[in-house]
Structure 1
Amino acid sequence: MVTAENTGSVLNSYHRKMMGPVLNALRELGGSAARPQVHEQVAKDLSISDQDAKFKKAVDFARLTLVFGGYIEPVTTTGVWTLTDSGRTVDMTAELASDIIRQRNRYDREQRDRKTVADNALGDSGVPEKKYWSYRSGSKAERWQSDLQNSVMLIGYGAVGNLTQYDSKNDIQQALQNIYGLSSAPTNVANELWDFVHDMNLGDVIVAVDGHRGILGIGEVSSDYEYHASDADDLTHMRQIAWTDLSNDHIVMESKKQFHNMTLKEITGNLDMVHQIDALIDDGALNDDDMSDMRTVEPYSREQFLNEVYVDERTYDNLVAALARKKNIILMGAPGVGKTFMAKRLAYSIMGEKDSKRVEMVQFHQNYSYEDFMLGYRPTDTGFELRYGVFYEFCKRAEIDEDRPYYFIIDEINRGNLSKIFGELFMLMESDKRGLRLQLPYADELFSIPRNVFIIGMMNTADRSLAMIDYALRRRFAFIELEPGFDTDGFDAYRRALNSERFNGLIAAVRNLNRRIAEDDSLGKGFRIGHSYFCGLTPDTVNEQTLSGIVEYELIPLLEEYWFDEPEIVKEEADKLRKAIQ
């Protein structure tokens, strides 16, 4: 996740140097001052004549880090910064500033890990995607200039008090109805307030809107939720935002799509809108020092891959070589060998960093179409319009960044009608046809798959009901079968770290079971049980109850499907698994 405090070594260095000057400026201003005053005082003290975007953001991020360190109070009056007792006396040395930043970054990582446990199933743990939100600063954007000046976004209904006191959306809804005397349940408002506190994250993108299509500015969330009680103003719910103003002499930039009328609305799922916002950032509508240059990209190496993904070095090297040669590979394997978990990490390891902007994942299914994948006409309120699909958009992003590789990942690739989905891409995806342009059927334009685009597909070898991969497609991919990783060094280290006899016994029983599955003529090695069923445990959770749950609710139902006409085999193997964890 992008965070305002964790913006890479360059920005960390810059805002670390600003921490002392911010404290000194506040001391010179009497211990408390509005944000613009602090900017001016710091610039004056440092003899900086031009307060550009990079300078202001460094000062703002320094303030956030000082709040974390306990040297500046969380904002109690909109836009006002106030020193704590410690802040008035501390000697902010370079060593102390670096230590505070390290503590803050460590805290951010821990928070991100807690929030992204659910992403493990998609193989993206630790790399959560940012969200996009539309925001109205007043019904007619009358507060925009104030929000911009104070680097905030504000939501009303202050009479309900601090929103962190409510345990659910229903609680907020009931409070709104009681306090404001509403005759009907304010579901939308309750959702907005809940999202503002719980679903919005540091680093999310905020689009300040005006009317149905106007874009006034784009910002990045740079603080957690803050509540500021006020008798004079209902706008008590606040977050700090690093805004970039896109309005110019009252000329408002227009969105291709209409925004919702709500004060706050997540728009992450509206890909057309998100792509336009990304284009505004990437195409230079924002300053060079804007938030798009402040993403933290975590390094990721071959060694990290081998520690996290339980394959041996030879398999990894074969994967990398096949992908470089064919540009398209399909990872095959039994359920639970970690295909999805592996795919993104394979891309990251080759890139050398966890750059999620250069990796896209989709999942095929029976109703997935060429229109979803490439382009096609879709109904609108007034008729039909041409819309571009996810692969088209991905290729266009890669095309303008040709010096770096991009990876398109397709889960369950054999569940879709591949001839229907790929169309003319059958030829274009060949490694020696990259860069070749063909006429698109729905648009008056030529299209090619860039040479820096690599495709990683995944399929379960245990899917009985699925058709074989189209032969025309098969020759365009390298097919790599993945083995259960019980014998790898990484899994062995994981097993030993758990230090559990029950776990060791269960793994031994599963290995024996896999041998029987592989020798069964009606099944074969493609139906073996993978290692991912047993991942994610700790010495505290690897107990009899947890292991019994894996056996009873994951493994035995799988065996019942494998040997649906031979219940005696199911009973025999189930008894062995149960006995292993007793």
Structure 2
Amino acid sequence: MVDEDVAKTNLKSAYMRWMEPILNALKELGGKASPAEVRDRIAGNLHLTQEELTAVRGKTKVNRFSNEVAFARNILVFGGYIDGGEHGVWKLTDTGANVHMTNELASHLIRERNKHDRDRRKMAPANALGDSGAPEQRYWSYRPGSRAEKWQECQDDSVMLIGWGKIGDISRYDKRSEIQQELRDSYEMDGIPRNAARMLWQFANEMKPGDVVVAIKGTRTILGIGEVQSDYEHYESADDFNNARQVSWMTVDDADSTLRSAKQFHNKTLNDITSNLDMVRQIDELLNDDAEEGDDASVVEEIPLDPYSREDFLDEAYVGEHTYDNLVAALDRKKNIILMGAPGVGKTFMAKRLAYSIMGVKDPSRVTMVQFHQNYSYEDFMLGYRPKDTGFELKYGVFYEFCKKAEEDEDRPYYFIIDEINRGNLNKIFGELFMLIENDKRDLKLQLPYADELFSIPSNVFIIGMMNTADRSLAMIDYALRRRFAFVELEPGFDTDGFKRYEQSLGSDRFGRLISAVKTLNRKISEDDSLGKGFRIGHSYFCGLTPQTADERTLSGIVEYELIPLLEEYWFDEPQTVADEAERLREAIR
């Protein structure tokens, strides 16, 4: 494996090497030329040998000269020295025609480009846990033309191209519905082109630098793998394929070009495949195999991770300092904890953030979350045989893969989160892991039942389970599992400093009265012999509001459609109690 810092240094030097020759070649060619003409002129000016012109790197055998020149051109476009508005043509700007490119200026451009890409990649949409601060890399399948007829052009110019050019610059549309209407008008369609509009919207607005793109042909053949290097670009051209993004392409050997997954690529020009873990795993294998042979094709540096501290957790998760310290101490001692609590105390919300606060950074690559249910099995969790076209194959489960990943990074902690842990058949799911998850049994190897290998759970893997104490349908936790976990009960966080600051920020007397009414209601629930404190109403029902949304209409919706149905379930045989408590909640927000 090539040392990471050395690879980045070599790559930076390579791109700096080509910037001045590109500008000189374009000046000699009248300020405007095709990529091939520029490369030919550089080769002639620098007297490059055939060996230098045909050299490749890594398992994917990308042409080193063409690849480095294309990346250098992208950086010059970013710096404003080359006009990026015309596809298939490299054209000097007025600034580029007069600049004297030095190593210092080239180095500065690369640093600024990398910073720009890092900032773009950090602007990820919120995931299911509201974790908007963590970078998220997405994977896309891409068809370079219906029969891959654009693939050679994409390789030559280090781009990916999308059609539907008659509608013009996609970035000028504010809504997907506007793209739909323009497609209907421009292409005289009778139906509603929802799929095409969605694909164009994703290409212009959702794809981002750092995403991985898999160029495909048919339903299983992989032509190449690339990393997105630019924002959306529109070219004024007669060619219908005038929507583009700059991409670092790596070709794939014939032996690795066929998808091994039982699933197939969808018949779409562009498709988000991030959630298809089997496809993503195979793509990562190709990329990792290539990296092991020293491929340094990517210009984008590792994304700096946002820091996340104990104070950040306390401010967001609405638990007391003493509770937080107990959580951390229990996890350190047992390596396995279960967060228990009433509905709405924020168990799911805080689990990932607890991991981040201990790590000190928001690193989603070291955190995985699953949810147990009645049909969840050992085969899903660890490994087992699954049907495929020609019979059955051994497939590894999410926990097995997670442990193998953590094993290769033993100096850093990894966190495996299990939501609704007591909804699954735990004896069936855990199997021999009952023993291996114990703190003093970590790194102990046992023979797996389906595979001829020994397996252990690394000592740097921590398990965080969650269970809802108000769920009447739940069976008791198995005593063998209970002994291996520390159980921490979470309280509604209305009296924490974080929630009080949140309440004050809303500036709503109506909200304050509702919270007081809920706290009174919680005391009644706790004192009820048929319920108890495990059925109290948590604070998360009231989170996510702003001074503008904390109005009577929003709060009334929470009361009528979330709280009162819960009370009707709690006191299903006491309708008068439900009516009385419901009226108190309604009165609080009037």
- Is the TM-score greater than 0.5? yes
Q: Which residue of 1 aligns with 2:367?
A: 359
Alignment of 1:468 with 2:476, yes or no, is yes
1:74 to 1:301, Cα distance in 2 relative to 1, 3 A: farther
Per the alignment, residue 445 of structure 2 pairs with 437
Give the aligned partner of residue 405 of structure 2: 397
Q: Which residue of structure 2 lines up, in the alignment, with residue 131 of structure 1? A: 138
| Pick aligned residue for 1:235 from 234, 241, 248 | 241
Aligned partners of 2:512, 2:114: CA distance in 1, in Å? 38
Take 1:262 and 1:426, find their aligned partners in 2: how far apart are those partners? 44
Could you say which residue in structure 2 is the equivalent of 1:526?
Answer: 534
Instruction: Return the alpha-carbon distance in structure 1 between the equivalents of residues 100 and 558 of structure 2.
Output: 54
Deviation at 1:151, TM superposition (A): 2.1
TM-score, normalization by structure 2? 0.81
Aligned-residue sequence identity (percent) comes to: 60
Residue 416 (structure 1) aligned with residue 420 (structure 2): no
Unaligned runs of 5+ in 1: 1-7
Does the 8 A contact of 1:26 with 1:83 survive in 2? Answer: no
The structure 2 residue matched to 1:264, chosen from 265, 270, 274, is 270
Q: Does the C-alpha gap of structure 1 residues 505 and 569 become closer, same or farther in structure 2, counting only changes over 3 Å?
A: same
Secondary structure of the residue aligned to 2:216 is: strand
CA distance, structure 1, for counterparts of residue 424 and residue 227 of structure 2: 37
Equivalent residue for 1:299? Answer: 307
Task: Please tell me whether the aligned partners of residues 342 and 470 of structure 2 are also in contact (alpha carbons under 8 angstroms).
Answer: yes
Q: 1:261 to 1:110 in 2, by over 3 A?
A: closer
What is aligned with 1:155? 162
Match of 1:535 in 2: 543
Q: Which range moved further: 208-217 or 406-415?
A: 208-217
Q: Which residue number corresponds to residue 59 of structure 2?
A: none
| 3-state SS in 2 of match to 1:539 | coil
Q: Which amino acid aligns with 2:464?
A: I
Q: What is the letter of the counterpart of residue 333 of structure 1? A: G
Q: CA deviation at 1:554?
A: 1.3
CA contact (8 A) 2:161 2:241 kept: yes
> Is the 8 Å Cα contact of residues 114 and 300 (structure 2) preserved in structure 1?
no
In 2, Cα distance between equivalents of 1:395 and 1:60: 42
**Partner AA of 1:136 in structure 2:** R
| Whole-angstrom distance in 2 between the partners of 1:90 and 1:542 | 58
> Structure 1 residue 75 and structure 2 residue 81: aligned?
no
8 Å CA contact 1:207–1:216 kept in 2: the answer is yes
TM-aligned CA distance change 1:172 to 1:512, over 3 Å: same
Quote the Cα distance in structure 2 between the aligned partners of 1:364 and 1:279: 28
Q: Deviations over 1:117-142 (max 9, x none)?
A: xx3x5242333632211223345645
Pair 1:500-2:508 in alignment? yes
How far 1:406 moved relative to its partner? 0.8
Q: In the TM superposition, what is the alpha-carbon distance from 1:259 to its structure 2 partner? A: 3.8
- Partners of 2:444 and 2:196 in 1: CA distance: 51
Alignment-derived partner of residue 276 in structure 1: 282
Secondary structure in 1 matching 2:582: helix
Q: Which amino acid aligns with 2:153?
A: S
Q: Could you say if the C-alpha distance between residues 577 and 516 of structure 1 is closer, same or farther in structure 2, counting changes exceeding 3 Å?
A: same
Supply the distance in 2 between the matched residues of 1:160 and 1:515 (Cα, whole angstroms): 61
Matched, 1:551 2:555: no
| C-alpha contact 1:33 1:82 (8 A) present in aligned 2 | no
- Checking the alignment, whether the CA contact within 8 Å between 2:215 and 2:223 is kept in structure 1 is yes
Contact map agreement 1:35 1:81 (CA 8 A) in 2: no
Whole-angstrom CA distance in 2 between matches of 1:535 and 1:53: 53
CA shift, 1:298, in A, is 1.6
Q: In 1, are the aligned partners of 2:220 and 2:265 still within 8 Å (CA)?
A: yes
Aligned residue identity for 1:230: S
Sort the Cα spacing of 1:251 and 1:417 in 2 relative to 1 into closer, same or farther, 3 A.
closer
Residues 20-35 of structure 1: pairs in structure 2 closer than 5 A: 29=26
- What is the SS of the residue equivalent to 1:401? coil
**Number of residue pairs matched by the alignment:** 557
> 1:168, 1:478 → 2: CA distance?
49
For 2:243 and 2:334, locate their aligned partners in 1 and report how far apart those are by CA, in whole Å: 53
Q: CA RMSD in A?
A: 4.2
Contact 1:123-1:340 within 8 A present in 2 as well: no
Residue number in structure 2 paired with 1:3: none
State the one-letter code of the partner of 1:417: N
Query: Does structure 1 conserve the Cα–Cα contact (< 8 Å) formed by 2:75 and 2:113?
Result: no
CA distance in 2, matches of 1:355, 1:443: 31
Match of 2:233 among 226, 239, 259: 226
Shift, 1:360, TM fit: 0.4
Where structure 2 has 5 or more consecutive residues not aligned to the other structure, the ranges are: 47-51, 56-63
For 1:508 and 1:90, how far apart are their aligned partners in 2?
Answer: 69
Do the aligned partners of 1:65 and 1:104 also contact (CA within 8 Å) in 2? no
Give the superposition deviation at 1:201. Answer: 3.6
- SS of 2:340's partner is strand
1:323-402 residue pairs with structure 2 within 5 A? 323-402=331-410
Matched, 1:576 2:584: yes
Opposite residue 276 of structure 2, the aligned amino acid is N
What are the Cα deviations for residues 301-355 of structure 1, in whole angstroms up to 9, with x where unaligned? Answer: 1121111111111111111111111111101111111111101111111111111
SS at match of 1:335: coil
| Cα shift readout 1:166-219 (whole Å, capped 9, x = no counterpart) | 788788678767866889987765654454345434432111235554444322
CA deviations 1:279-317 (Å, max 9, x no partner) are 333452573463785234222111211111111111111
- The alignment partner of 1:242 has SS state of strand
CA apart distance, 1:579 = 1.4
More displaced 10-residue stretch of structure 1: 24-33 or 326-335: 24-33
CA 1:351–1:35: 2 relative to 1, 3 Å: farther
AA in 2 matched with 1:452: N
Counterpart selection for 1:196 from 203, 207, 210: 203
Contact 2:140/2:272, CA 8 A, preserved across alignment: yes
Q: Residues 173 and 503 from structure 1, CA distance in 2 versus in 1: closer, same or farther, beyond 3 angstroms?
A: closer
TM-score, L = length of structure 1: 0.82
Contact 2:340–2:490, Cα closer than 8 Å, also in 1: yes
Question: Structure 1 residues 196, 532: closer, same or farther in 2, change over 3 A?
Answer: same
Q: How does 1:165-204 map to 2 (within 5 A)?
A: 192-204=199-211
SS at match of 1:486: coil
Please give the residue correspondences for 1:306-325 in structure 2 after superposition, counting only pairs within 5 Å: 306-325=314-333
Q: Do 1:410 and 1:455's aligned partners in 2 also have CA atoms closer than 8 Å?
A: yes
Give SS of 1:487's match. Answer: coil
- Is this contact kept in 2: 1:26–1:32, CA < 8 A? no
